[in-house]
Amino acid sequence: MFTVFLALMILFAGGYVVTTMLMMGQLQKRKIPINWFLIRLYLPKYLHQYSQIIKQETGKVPPLFYVWWGSLGGMAALAIVVIVMKALD
């Protein structure tokens, strides 16, 4: 059972990385400079910019934004489950 949760956590982590790169690619298309060296520090700023730009263009919050938050939440939830399972072993 532990390996199933670990595999799901890796899947969520992959989704997190892929959606982050897709959003950063969209920002670069719109000539927003991205600091790749400090991406983890500036990620909240970039996510807000991405959301605002796409919302202005389409009138809706972009789907990638929800996928990003879902993968982050899923990763955190599964990490807690794995930690509790290991503690109860």
Amino acid at 48: H
pLDDT for residue 89? 79
Q: Rounded distance, CA 25 to CA 31, Å?
A: 10
- What's the domain range around 24? 2-88
> According to DSSP H, which parts of the chain are helical?
2-29, 39-58, 63-88
The radius of gyration of the chain from alpha carbons, rounded to an integer in Å, stands at 16
pTM of the entire predicted model? 0.84
Using 50 as the pLDDT threshold, list the residues of the chain that sit under it: none
Report the number of distinct structural domains present in the chain: 1
In sequence order, the 6+-apart residues with CB closer than 8 A to the CB of 80 are none
> If you average pLDDT over every residue of the chain, what do you get?
92
